[in-house]
A and B are shown apart, each in its own frame.
Chain A
């Protein structure tokens, strides 16, 4: 009995010292908490308050009644979305564009980084890097403007070239079957240089002794790339892959919305543009919030899943 109570006293005593220690640290750095207050308020208002507001997805929300005043209707909006004629198109377009972007866009910056790394002439390397990074800084609007100009049926560069070679000009931007390819490859053109920066950095951090040893052992350049460089950047590549797969339900609104026209909507309407049109333009707040919530939840599940898989396979993961 005496032993037991002294154990509990010990535990309670250590809790007390722990609390005292905690308060001491807090009081010592109270100004740091004050400094953090402003960002925390920002987070609370603009990130967490909307998370509270997302519950309108389960309500029949009207601005007049407010969030808590609107009646709770459960999964009605979700059922409506899943049963709507557009659901499968939206899902197919969103996933299709994402997967296409990933397949086309993931390997190319790696290849570019390796190629730049292998080049020997300093000024040439710098020139290639400078030129390929540049398109990243073109705004989305300007990029789509360029795409529309180049594909213009009358005076666009592409059609001019086709005409010179004897073919017939076509209105490419109006064709639903070409939309995803135009979207993806213009994205690769714009982003491959910038995306290669991380890989170039990773390549430059590979131990040069490893590379020299391989060459001394008689490896050809190609072999060196396969056996030294690629494994060296694999951790970076995996992390980026995880991040990208986690975003697979998030086709960026901006570029798609600009490239949409009435003729290509069957392949160009994705979840994010649908939420914008139905929710903000047509003011069906609750319904659009439900669609958006569906999207966010899938994102979260995907990110966690892919991270778990990566952790099982290797030892690189996001957390």
Chain B
């Protein structure tokens, strides 16, 4: 198809715009990656622009030796795995019955769930409830108060309604399958894609959040990675248990600065490494969600 001159000009601008966007997004990420692999001296002197200068793994060494980071990582893994498991179970338990058209009172029940998206008791009231349940400063506070996301539940329900054929469910019922057994034998095997999608949404949510930990946790050994990151990257507090002279050496060599870059990479690496593979699930999840919303 022959393009007119006006169209060719437009396409040129379009590509130029997209390349510009690509650079604006990619450059900071490359800069961080390069800085993290550079030597402390180079970072402090500001010699890093695009590629690592004086390639060194000292930054990563410091990160992996840091005890706080280790505890934080471990805690985050626990919260993410346990939390996501609870989330998926809760979501399916809510989404399946609500997807059944012959569930009596379905509209009322659905309203009961969606009203919570419009109005809530607020931070203070929720905190008092969690406190009253004795969950403050316990691991439970990281996985139970946020056990269900109504948004994800709606995505799941939409999937059930559009993908699991009513005929199949009816056939199972005719064969004498009870509702609960239907879930186990019919729904779950057919739900692998949606379970993958909502697991990803929930897991990323758990891994990246710090608010829950900020308000409910006070013991340092329970802190997830994001709180540790906050202490180091934002509050610039370093591990008090580090030996004093090591601190001095670090400061003299600008290790603190380098540490920040390496820490950023280490903290984001799991999510960013998995994300290209999981990307199509995210896109699918958003599209399913947007069909309903």
Contact = CB atoms under 8 A, between A and B. Distances in A.
Contacts, number: 255
B35 to A, nearest CB: 8
Nearest to B97: A32
Interface string B96-111: 1110101111000100
B121 A50 contact: yes
Interface string B26-59: 1011011000000000011010000000000000
B192 interface: no
A292 B122 contact: yes
Contacts of A42: 90, 147-148
Interface string A168-194: 000000000000000000000100010
A181 to B, nearest CB: 16
Interface residues of A, number: 88
B180 A275 contact: no
Interface stretch (B17-25, B63-71, B158-166, B241-249): B17-25
14 contacts: A31-B179, A33-B97, A46-B129, A50-B125, A112-B21, A124-B15, A130-B276, A133-B275, A146-B32, A149-B32, A215-B1, A222-B10, A253-B211, A292-B122
Given A138-B268, A254-B210, A201 B286 contact: yes
A47 B96 CA distance: 21
A309 B209 CA distance: 35
Q: How large is the interface on B (under 10, 10 to 19, 20 to 34, 35 or more residues)?
A: 35 or more
B98 A276 contact: no
Interface in A1-45: 22, 25-26, 29, 31-36, 38-40, 42-43, 45
Contacts of A193: 25
A155 B91 CA distance: 46
B293 A239 contact: yes
A166 B127 CA distance: 51
B6 interface: yes
Contacts of B32: 146, 149
Contacts of B191: none
A300 to B, nearest CB: 5
Contacts of B26: 131
A234 interface: no
A29 B263 CA distance: 53
Contact of A115 (B18, B105, B207): B18
Of B100, B109, B283, chain A has the most CB atoms within 10 Å of the CB of: B283
B233 A145 contact: yes
B240 interface: no
A285 B25 contact: no
Contacts of A53: 121, 125, 128-129
A142 B233 contact: yes
A227 interface: no
Which A-B residue pairs are the 4 nearest by beta carbons?
A50-B121, A145-B233, A292-B122, A139-B208
A38 B210 CA distance: 26
Contacts of B118: 299-300, 303
A92 interface: no
A220 B125 contact: no
Given A22-B104, A31-B178, A279-B123, A141 B230 contact: yes
A263 B233 CA distance: 18
A280 to B, nearest CB: 6
